[in-house]
Each structure stands twice: as C-alpha cells, then as structure tokens.
Amino acid sequence: MNEKKTMLSGIQPSGDLHLGNYLGPMRHWPGMIETYDCFFFMADLHTITVRQDPAQLRKRTLTQIAQYIASGLDPEKCTLFVQSHVPAHAQLGWVLNCYTMFGELSRMTQFKDKASKHSENINAGLFTYPVLMAADILIYQPDYVPVGEDQRQHVEICRDIAERFNGIYGDVLRVPEPYIAKVGARIMSLNAPETKMSKSLPEGCVFLMDKPEDIMRKFKRAVTDSDTERCVRYAPGEKPGVSNLVQIYAAATGKSFEEIESEFAGQGYGKFKPAVGEAVVETLRPIREETERLLADKAYLESVYRAGAEKAGCVAEKTLRKVYKKLGFLAR
C-alpha cells in the first residue's frame, strides 16, 4: 500500500473565520484528509507582526480549533495543532533566515502591502515573515502546499530557500509543489464586491459565528448593481455585486448559475438577496452550533491540540535534527 503524500496548511487566528474562508479552502479540507496525511495549524506566531490583544488572541485560537473540527476535520484523521506549541518552527525559521537574501524579501508584495497599512509598526518580523512561513512548510517535509493566488509568491520563495540550502548541504529539505486545490468560490465583500471578503471590512463580511439575524441583515444590505436591468445574472464584468451573490448562492446550494438565473427570472434583487441570506444561514448553522458545543468542552479541545502538538513535534524535530547535523551544530 502506498504511503499517503503529506499536505500542510495554516490560517492565522488574527481575526474570526468568515464565509470566504469556509466556501473557499475550508470546505474542501475534509475530503483532503482522506487522501493526504494533513497537518493543519493555527499560525499564532505570524499574528504578532501586528499588535494583538492577548486575551482575544487566546480566544480566537481556541475558537479556530473548534471551527476546524466543526467544519469536518476529524482530529483522528489529521493533525491539528497550534504553531507556537512546536518550537521547531521558530528554530528552523532562524536557520533559514541565514539562507534567505535581503533582496528576495524586499520584493515580497505582502510586505509592501502590510507595511503601508501598519506604517507605525514596520518591524523585522513583518519583513522576515516569509522565512517563518517557509520553515512552517519545510519542517514537515510536505509534498504539497495548498495555495491561492495571493500565497503563490510565498511558496515560490520557500522553494528557492529549500533549493539553496540543498545546493549547499545535499538533499536535506523536500522541495514542495504548490497544490492548486479546488479552492471553491472566491467570495467578495458584500458591500465592496471589487475586493475579497475580509475581516477588515466587517459590514461586508459574514463570520462563521454570526447569528442568523445578523447574516440576513448583511445580505439585505448587500451591494447589487445600479443597472436598469435588475435581473439575477452571473456576469462578473458587468454585474460584480449580483455575480458575487450568485456565486455564494451556488456554493451554498449546489445549484448551477443557469439554474439560479432561471429560479429568479423576473423576480429582481428584492427576492434574491434574502434567499441568498437564508441559504448561507442554513449552511453555517451546523458549524456555528457545533463550534459552540465544542467551546463548552475546553478539556476536549485541549486534548486535541496537545496530541496534535506532540505528533507534529515528533515530525518537526526529526527534520530539525537533520538540518542541525548538516550545519555542524553539536548534538544535544
């Protein structure tokens, strides 16, 4: 029997998970754990490049673990852990800093973007963030890393770092392939459909833990389009607002764009927007309810992330020992 290939993915607990996270990558994760040996982690070390409220960070990290499980990730079939609980991430991160060129990091578009948004706190961690991300990946020697377009540059620099290290020391780090998963719908903001749904625009963002009445309110206020046609039609170039709602409804119900256009023919936006809201309410209801149940059982969640850290730590330490030996560090 062939060994499963390894896959790794992490999300920062810097804000609450939302509909874009779920209908994008998360909904496909439960299927992936049947095919791959998957590591999913809460990337809490990455969050502190921006100042965090400590109590909120702890709360969001625990909630994110619960939401992962509620979304279908079985802790018995994959490894769920918190990044800071596995010290080898930071240890390999320092080593790889010494094999990453300043010019490479200065060209990273996310650094420029974040630096412009946090001009009062342009710290070294913000600059070297991609190196820690490379360490997150390479420490588990994965075959694949799921990526969207916004993360492709990070996987490219990760591969460059690994190849540079291997060029000096031999075949030490597996060079992962980017995995362009069925990432699902690219969900845009409800009140600014030209931008991705984001926690930074809360009124246009539907969070996984939103109450049904809040979800309905957001959809009823969703931006549609100022055209005179006012028909439900998927045409992103002409009708970005309505097209976003069509895509959300399709993802929530499994209906095709053609079926949706037929269902709402002649009904206008007044009927369509509440229908999308109701479909999303029912899609997220079981996740919200199961998350709430899990959060009431802190002992279980602690057992999950402790076991996850132990399993992840064993794999990570093996890679770190191999790297340290190649560097000439004295064995402990």
Residues of the chain with CATH 3.40.50.620: 6-185+298-327
Q: Using a pLDDT cut of 90, give the percent of the chain over it.
A: 63
* Residue 4 DSSP one-character state: P
- The pLDDT tens digits for 269-300 are 889 999 999 999 999 999 999 999 999 999 99
CB 86 within 8 A of CB 312: yes
Give the pLDDT score at 320: 98
Q: Which residues make Cβ contacts (< 8 Å) with residue 8, sequence separation at least 6?
A: 38, 39, 40, 41, 136, 137, 140, 142, 145
The Cα 100–Cα 75 span in angstroms is 34
The Cα 292–Cα 297 span in angstroms is 9
Give the pLDDT score at 1: 43
CB 215 within 8 A of CB 276: no
Residues of the chain with CATH 1.10.240.10: 202-292
CB 131 within 8 A of CB 100: yes
Q: Does 182 score more than 60 pLDDT?
A: no
Helix or strand run (H / E) with residue 81: strand 79-82
- Taking phi over 0 as left and psi of -120 to 50 as alpha, with beta for the rest, 176 belongs to beta
Q: Does 327 score more than 50 pLDDT?
A: yes
Q: Does 87 score more than 60 pLDDT?
A: yes
User: Which candidate in 5, 196, 311, 318 is catalytic?
Assistant: 196
Thinking of the domain 202-292, which architecture would CATH place it in?
Answer: Orthogonal Bundle (1.10)
User: Which candidate in 4, 77, 117, 199 is catalytic?
Assistant: 199
CB 89 within 8 A of CB 135: yes
* Residue 196 DSSP one-character state: B
Helix locations, 139-176, DSSP H: 152-169
Q: Is the pTM of this model over 0.75?
A: yes
The Cα 266–Cα 261 span in angstroms is 9
Give the DSSP per-residue string, 87-133: THHHHHHHHHHTTS-HHHHHT-HHHHHHHHH-TT---HHHHHHHHHH
How is residue 231 written in tokens? 């028909």
Cα 70–74–75 angle (5° rounding)? 110
- Residue 42 has φ and ψ, to the nearest 5°, of -90, 110
Q: Which residues pair with 9 in a beta bridge?
A: 40
Locate tokens 């749904």: which residue? Answer: 197
Out of 107-121, 139-153, 189-203, pick the least confident.
Answer: 107-121
Task: Starting at the earlier edge strand, list the strands of the sheet with 79-82.
Answer: 79-82, 37-42, 6-11, 144-146, 177-179
Whole-number mean pLDDT of the chain?
90
Give the pLDDT score at 185: 67
pLDDT classification of 242: cutoffs 50, 70, 90: very high
Annotated catalytic residue 199: yes
Give me the amino acid identity at 312.
A
CB 300 within 8 A of CB 80: no
What's the mean pLDDT in 223-241? 82
What's the mean pLDDT in 187-209? 90
pLDDT classification of 28: cutoffs 50, 70, 90: confident
Cα 48–71–186 angle (5° rounding)? 70
pLDDT classification of 252: cutoffs 50, 70, 90: very high
pLDDT classification of 167: cutoffs 50, 70, 90: very high
Annotated catalytic residue 114: yes
One of 3.40.50.620, 1.20.950.20, 3.40.50.300, 1.20.1050.10 is the CATH number of 6-185+298-327, namely 3.40.50.620
- Residue 5 has φ and ψ, to the nearest 5°, of -70, 155
The Cα 166–Cα 160 span in angstroms is 10
Question: Euclidean distance between the first and final Cα of the chain, in Å?
Answer: 36
- The pLDDT tens digits for 202-227 are 889 999 999 999 999 999 999 887 76
